[in-house]
Amino acid sequence: MFLTQGLARAATINPNVPATINRERRRSWAECAERVARLAGGLVARGIQPGDRVAILALNSDRYLEALFAVPMLGAIIVPLNTRLAPAEIGYILADSGTRMLLLDDAFLHIPAQADMAAVTDLLYLGDGATPAGMTAWEDVLGAPYTTDTPAGGDDVAGIFYTGGTTGKSKGVMLTHDNLVSNAAMMGPACGYRSDSVYIHAAPMFHLADLASIFAITMVGGTHVFISRFDPADLLSEIARTKVTNVLLVPTMVNAVANYPEIGKYDISSLRVIPYGASPMPDAVLKKAAEVMPHVRFLHVYGMTEASPLATAMDLHIEPVGKRLQSCGRPAMLVDVRIADAEDNEVPRGTVGEVQLRGPNVMKGYWNMPEATATALRGGWYHSGDGGMMDEDGYVYIVDRMKDMIISGGENIYSAEVESAISTLAGVAEVAVIGIPDERWGETVHAVVVPRAGAVVTPEQVIAHSRTLIAGFKCPRSVEIRNTPLPLSGAGKVLKTDLRAPFWAGRDKKVS
């Protein structure tokens, strides 16, 4: 299997349907396929060969999509960079991956002056302005169409996706053509993507949560809409303008949209399915979202970069109720999921253990890290590091990242459960729960709460409300009320490492 097969299919079945809508710029699938082939040809003309790494540091756009197909088309490897990284981190990844060519848009033109660019010999400009000195404009790369009788594919690496490393070093997840295609083949049906779908890229494209839909929507011949970065008003406006049917959002984004005061002014009746994942969705947020968007099916999915990323999903035709509202669904079509103990033995249903995966979507390994690869894939299963349990009918519940689990007085406390309880208190806009050091208990539960504009929430209210919903030992012992948003990662996840840092300074755990 090879990535550009989906592109060819889209051009075959929907040649005249819009492939990309980037503000006022629209291109059909016939145009898009032709441009990608010409871009791949142009990259070859610039000396890019199979196996070479080409990095991209850019906000969401149609050109980002073109790069994601053109680079793997010729057998080279795309390296999408996290847009929130510091220059030193970018320099590390460019050097670690041995990137030869870097694609930049207007938001990142300052990077070459600040980051170590020793290995990079070619800079391409993805923007619409005047081409900066020393760079080549994307439109000028277009050359003679790339053709081959033996397309790159199968076990060839198509992309390297750097994830935040728990040991301080970012790890490059190698995903092959087969990984990404098999993910797209099961993710499209799981999320209800079809040949008339219109998907908007609102979450950052460098992250697999959104990037996977580049391939899944293309494979079904749907339409891609782009906004450069997430903004509730911009998102709602583009949904109304382009009749968007699907968008993957992380819970913080669902929260922002559902609580956007003027949501009622936009016609979002075209929306059909919103897959959400990447972090737990508090009950109150899901309830609010369902209230303001009653015609939308919110679909819990779960995955990780190492799985390209889909691991589990709710069945599209089964509306979850009761405790299953908190389930992230059942194993995706081609994926074996098991919950195992520390010795990699499967545990009985209902018992918490580590979520482990096996399937054609599981990564080839970490770039240049044979030991980390062997550890992560030992016994043929990917060890996610996530704590979870599976019920009698195969529904999976993620109780926490193992590293986000709080151990207080010997009890395991899952921050997601505590966050979900606190989120239902009136006036709470955002909440994050972490473990902080305690002489007696090892750790105690600490909550950081951001009230809604104009609302007053006190620590006493938070603790009292928690006591009505969860066991006493799970309730926060301390609460900070803050009036600034919680720190978010590039992928929109709350940066708990930043919240924990002041408490754990000088200690050797929990900070990373």
**Which residues bind to its own copies, rule: CB under 8 A?**
1, 5, 8-9, 12-16, 149-150, 181-182, 185-186, 188-189, 194-196, 219-220, 315-318, 330-331, 333-337, 359-360, 379-380, 390, 392-394
> What is the nearest approach in angstroms of its own copies to the Cβ of residue 2?
10
What's the one-letter identity of residue 141?
V
**Nearest-CA neighbor of 432 among 338, 362, 497, 507?**
497
Say if residues 340 and 357 touch (Cβ distance below 8 Å): no
Cβ neighbors of 114 (< 8 A, separation 6 or more) are: 87
- Other beta carbons within 10 angstroms of residue 216's beta carbon come to 28
Pick 219 or 268: Cβ nearer its own copies: 219
Distance CA 35, CA 334 (A): 32
> What is the nearest approach in angstroms of its own copies to the Cβ of residue 1?
5
Pick 295 or 440: Cβ nearer its own copies: 295
Pick 191 or 203: Cβ nearer its own copies: 191
Pick 9 or 23: Cβ nearer its own copies: 9
> What is the nearest approach in angstroms of its own copies to the Cβ of residue 5?
6
Distance CA 112, CA 282 (A): 40
Pick 3 or 117: Cβ nearer its own copies: 3
> What is the nearest approach in angstroms of its own copies to the Cβ of residue 136?
32
Distance of CA 473 to the CA centre of its chain: 32
> What is the nearest approach in angstroms of its own copies to the Cβ of residue 151?
9
> What is the nearest approach in angstroms of its own copies to the Cβ of residue 95?
35
Helix (H) or strand (E) holding 22: strand 18-22
Phi, psi of 181 (to 5 degrees): -70, -45
Pick 17 or 95: Cβ nearer its own copies: 17
Say if residues 59 and 80 touch (Cβ distance below 8 Å): no
Cβ neighbors of 360 (< 8 A, separation 6 or more) are: 178, 179, 182, 334
- Other beta carbons within 10 angstroms of residue 478's beta carbon come to 15
Pick 380 or 506: Cβ nearer its own copies: 380
Say if residues 211 and 201 touch (Cβ distance below 8 Å): no
Pick 360 or 437: Cβ nearer its own copies: 360
> What is the nearest approach in angstroms of its own copies to the Cβ of residue 330?
5
Sheet of 396-401, strand order:
336-340, 353-358, 382-390, 396-401
> What is the nearest approach in angstroms of its own copies to the Cβ of residue 303?
16
Pick 255 or 326: Cβ nearer its own copies: 326
- DSSP H helical segments within 99-195, as ranges? 111-114, 177-190
* Bridge partners, 26 (sequence order): 21
> What is the nearest approach in angstroms of its own copies to the Cβ of residue 228?
30
Distance CA 502, CA 486 (A): 15
> What is the nearest approach in angstroms of its own copies to the Cβ of residue 369?
23
DSSP-derived secondary structure for 180-225: HHHHHHHHHHHTT--TT-EEEE-S-TTSHHHHHHHHHHHHHT-EEE
Helix (H) or strand (E) holding 161: strand 157-163
* Bridge partners, 75 (sequence order): none
Pick 326 or 361: Cβ nearer its own copies: 361
Q: In the block, which residue shows the tokens 């009036």?
A: 483
Pick 346 or 411: Cβ nearer its own copies: 346
C-alpha Rg value of the chain to the nearest Å: 23
> What is the nearest approach in angstroms of its own copies to the Cβ of residue 390?
8
